[in-house]
Structure 1
Amino acid sequence: MRSITVVGASLAGLYTARALRTQGFDGRLVIVGDENHQPYDRPPLSKDFLTGAADQGQLALTDTDETAELYAEWYLGTSATGLDTAGGAVLLDGDRSLDTDAVVIATGASPRLLPGQEPVESAEPADPAGTGVHTLRTLDDAQALRDDLARGPAQVVVIGGGFIGSEVASSCSVLGHDVTVVEAAPLPLVPQLGEEMARVCAGLHADHGVTLVTGTGVAGLQCGGREGRVTGVELSDGRLLPADVVVVGIGVRPNTGWLEGSGVPLDDGVLCDAGCVTALPNVVAVGDVARVDGSRSEHWTSATEQATVAAQNILAGSTVARHGSLPYFWSDQYGVRIQFAGRRLPTDTPRIVEGSAEDRSFLACYDRDGETTAVIAVNRPRPFMRKRRELMRAMQPVTT
């Protein structure tokens, strides 16, 4: 194997490129990214970058020296349009192609849009700062939203009460805007945390003067004026929320369109085994786009851990290592850090073992048949890390 192409200049793509070099690959390494930016850290986009506490330089995941040490060819501002598995080539926009022996798919995901919000192919893309309607996934998205919020005090409606939506609402509140969060479910974050813990996290909005509207969807957006900016959000129950700025955070879909017809199995992501290897041994997938062993994880830690495993397997030409670490994610909202680790089922029972929910500072364990399956902490980072390590040790096989 003399050449490997990483499609996706993302966190997962960069970490896989690093792992390939660390594990001894000294051939041609190409990194293709559809953004014009070098890889950057996405979690701060909804937090410190949006509030102005961090600038673009602080988001960078590499510096000049490391970029040089990777000895990689960078194709930034370039989209992959197809994968010719028979011919061993990645197809690029502009009718270009890259011959390659192996491919790392790290193309991530794109925000889901409201019905009717999808762009028309023949039309010029709308300027988010001009319409007042935003999604938040890329650095350019975050910059457009930050610029829009800088116009002055605004009525901000965040559609979607998940982690991204809640973090955006928190940042907008810090900036002094009037914020409303709309969530179609009766309570946000129930799939991730369960009803009891989700209720505690939902209370953070009220604690900081943010209105949370639940149990209703969005029927449409109202726009007006000479600029055509958004003026309101019409809810499914008939209510109309005034809005100067709207942020849509209703989930993401994996970026797999360029792989249609390639022979790489797709189903809500790129289908992989536990080692991030697809049905083609010279094609692996990592990060948000990868459905590893039946599930897709959209979290920072999973992307970095999968990279090491995927690099090992692509160099071996088969699955010799598997990704089996404990799921872990965190979210910063309203000055509170929420941390979660483990694998909970809807029937698992949360039990607060330290602190109290009323104080917004506690550690809780999820129990199943007398065993702890997961742990959640709100502003208890040290106890959380201890409990997380215990869960990780419990996962390790017993040797004799």
Structure 2
Amino acid sequence: MECGCLKDKVVNFVKLILGQIGKHKKLAGVLFIILVAVGLVGGKKFWHYVESSEFCGSCHEMDVHYDSFMSSKHHNEHVHSCHNCHIGPGLKGFLHAKLSDGAHDSFEHMRKTYLTSANSDLFIEIAEDSVPIVNGNCLRCHTDNEEYTKDKTHLERVAQSKRKGEGGVLENFFCTDCHIGVVHPSWSADVYKAYAEKKIPPFGTFSENDCYACHRYATPEVVKEWTNSPHSKSGVSCLECHGNDHGQIVERGGRVLPSKCGVCHVTMYNDFAQSRHYKGRVVAEIGGVAVSTKDAKMRKDCEECHVLGLNKSWDVGPGGSCEGCHPKHLFSRSSASEAKVCENCHIGGPVHAQLDMSVKSIHGRLYGRWKEEGNIKLRCQSCHSDPYSHHNFNRNVSLLSD
């Protein structure tokens, strides 16, 4: 009975409202327009507010992120809010950010997760599935704005670079792998920067990301060379060549043994291992003692040339080095076949009475002319490389005087 009365009251109230609207149509129309206008203006203001950095920083958990962004170089006329980096293009990107990341962070905020003593020092971190969105925005912004892009080719190289994920599966290489701590605080990034500025080599074992993030400060050109190398496109990281023990890396001067290269480049290594470059040869006699190119006690100025076969006390095996011909970290095959690479060691002259490859020689003049014409017909390897071997240059060496 009571339910029926309530229902009748509601129906009568609705009829009364509709009756009043019917009597005052103009007034009702004006009020409706005002309500719609207020809704649109208020909705627009609310929309802009939820897109602002102030809204993101309104929760105490985001204080440190908000403060660091506002004081960073990224807070400028191009990047005026968190959304410029953290939200992908279109409605899909907005919904993903709000319904995935935003909903998760809001839930943790309501649970007061970051207020507990156990988690009081934790940062809210970006979700893994949002990392590609941030990096996509990096590329978009730095491609569109030349003012913030010193080297566009670097962006292209990074886009082609790969890294090995779980199970050895190749994954995309991201800007944030190197540029950690650029906008938001990162304990590790601050440490890396301090190491680089003070030129202090860190000791201990490190991960792949540690290499990129630290050497972005310490040796930025090395990182750029690597991103332009075949290794980066194949997901071959620093650890696979240098190992993860930084103390050992420093002790060896960053040198990588040919045997390590030979793990992947088997044919090239086997050929090189049969060459005089690798096996060494007697180059001088000092005080009645023959000095070989593999002598660990060779003078420093000799080591510059004889690095191909030089053996150090810590070498496992015969020693040697691929870096004598292949530029470090770039590993360019075309650069290694340039005549100037051979000329770095085969300098000619009375002490090293080998073929003079300078511009004064017939070979040098021909090579220089062909290079200018863009048609190099003859290289050092044309005469000295075995046609069935990649890296053994013993052929025709008997033509050279000792």
What TM-score, normalized to structure 2? Answer: 0.22
Task: Specify which structure has the higher proportion of strand.
Answer: 1
Structure exhibiting the larger radius of gyration computed from Cα positions:
2
Task: Specify which structure has the higher proportion of helix.
Answer: 2
